[in-house]
Amino acid sequence: MANETKTCAYCKKTAEAREVPCLQACARCKTALYCGRDCQKADYKSHKKVCPKPVEHSNSYSAPRLHDLEQHVPDPFTRLDEGTYLHDRPETDTFKLLIDSFRMRQADDFQYEKRTTPPSIYTGAPSSTEPFRQYLDRATACQNLLPSWWDPKKIEECVAFGMSRAWSDLKKKVTKHEVIQHYGYEKMPLQLRLLAEVIYGRGTMGESGSEVRRLMRQMESGGLSNGQSMTMLDISRKF
């Protein structure tokens, strides 16, 4: 499936052409993308006339529609807790989530534990293809984690996707900020970290995300069982 090339709403250039990590979404509509504040300011008079309000959700804790994923999933943390996070998704979405959860975990392991899995981009290799294959082998061994269509051929297709120069690139490092900007959701790094924890069997620095999954699931279902509320801004710090 061909990947849509995203460009700045004002200058019409890609992030690569402007030499920036990723395009940034309008904070209001989450749809218009810009390569930086200068282009966003220059486009303001035109964009404000058409900028829609964000879509309202019946549940304020439901996840918004994410950038760069074909299918909307409003309850990702419930699916993570149930082990169905990757089920019923298009193949391309599944590939992206597997690749980016691996990239996020690589970044966390290196930042917090100075841990690397050679040969990878963190040890000077041109790509992290080999450790990613090991990651997919682990994922395949996790009972019912992957969709029913997953087979050895899909492993090769997923690896090939990670080398296709798409944003989910096994040749490039990634940061939490870049993940947020790319997907347009502040809790996307947490989703990826929890998925990687399931696959590896442990979180970075040995942390467990089970309590976080439980709390986020309760919030997605309408709130905490004791009637209290918890801000979305603080929950990731527990993890």
Query: Residues 217, 78: contact at Cβ < 8 Å?
Result: yes
Alpha-carbon distance of 36 to 107, in angstroms, equals: 24
* Each residue's pLDDT tens digit, 16-52: 899 888 888 887 777 889 988 899 989 998 888 888 6
pLDDT at 1 over 90: no
Alpha-carbon distance of 236 to 141, in angstroms, equals: 27
3-state SS assignment for residue 237: helix
Domain range list for the chain: 1-54, 76-238
Alpha-carbon distance of 115 to 112, in angstroms, equals: 8
Q: Is 139 left (phi over 0), alpha (psi -120 to 50) or beta?
A: alpha
Query: Residues 47, 9: contact at Cβ < 8 Å?
Result: yes
pLDDT at 237 over 90: no
* Each residue's pLDDT tens digit, 176-211: 999 999 999 999 999 999 999 999 999 998 888 889
Answering whether pTM is above 0.85, one says no
Closest CA relative to residue 213, chosen from 9, 205, 221, 46:
221
3-state SS assignment for residue 24: strand
- β strands within 102-222, DSSP E: none
Alpha-carbon distance of 217 to 103, in angstroms, equals: 24
